[in-house]
Amino acid sequence: MVIRGVGRLCSGVLITYKRIRYCEVMPEIVFDALVPEAEIPALYQRFEQLAAAMHVTVSVSDEVTVTEDVERQLREQLEDEAPDRRVVRFSIHAASNLNQTAMTFARLLTPHADLPPEPTALENEEAFEVAAVYPWTVVIVP
């Protein structure tokens, strides 16, 4: 939408302005996570609380269709078959700093790893990796 207008006379010069408004679509951070059926409401509540604190919006969909490869990869991260788990999609609408927002929400899906204070001990990062509580994938949709 283009809005044109005429300003006021300023020092004998007529000032005009043109303001262009663009339809802005916020990017979406989409997490697909493999969650036990009974834990979906509590996890969604945690997403909502974090979204409110970060001034972003979140929605959830538990009727998600993902490719067989994605679901297989998520299930492979679990030690058991976990038949009671299903893929749940959390969509976060954020206006800025997508990386930081995505990393912050990812903490809800991944447990905290206790890291040693010595930098040399961190050279073998794989030794400190902890399996995700809820296996997940993330994608940014422009």
Residue 23 pLDDT > 70: no
Rounded CA-CA distance 4/63 in Å is 46
Give DSSP secondary structure letters for 32-62: EEEEEGGGHHHHHHHHHHHHHHHT-EEEEES
- Examine residue 16 and state whether it is found in any structural domain, yes or no: no
Tokens of 17: 């302005």
- Examine residue 11 and state whether it is found in any structural domain, yes or no: no
- Examine residue 5 and state whether it is found in any structural domain, yes or no: no
- Examine residue 13 and state whether it is found in any structural domain, yes or no: no
Structural domains counted in the chain: 1
- Examine residue 14 and state whether it is found in any structural domain, yes or no: no
- Examine residue 131 and state whether it is found in any structural domain, yes or no: yes
CATH assignment of the domain containing 100: 3.30.70.260
Rounded CA-CA distance 36/122 in Å is 32
- Examine residue 119 and state whether it is found in any structural domain, yes or no: no
Q: CA 130 → CA 36, 51, 97, 134, distances in Å?
A: 19, 25, 26, 12
Look at 14-18, 89-93, 121-125 and tell me which has the smallest mean pLDDT: 14-18
pTM of the model: 0.74
The pLDDT value given to residue 127: 80
- Examine residue 99 and state whether it is found in any structural domain, yes or no: yes
Residue 94 pLDDT > 70: yes
What is the rounded average pLDDT for all residues in the chain?
Answer: 82
State mean pLDDT over 42-67: 94
Rounded CA-CA distance 53/76 in Å is 33
Q: Which domain holds residue 40?
A: 25-113+124-141
Question: 32 with 140: CB under 8 angstroms?
Answer: no
State mean pLDDT over 1-20: 48
Supply the DSSP symbol for 77.
T
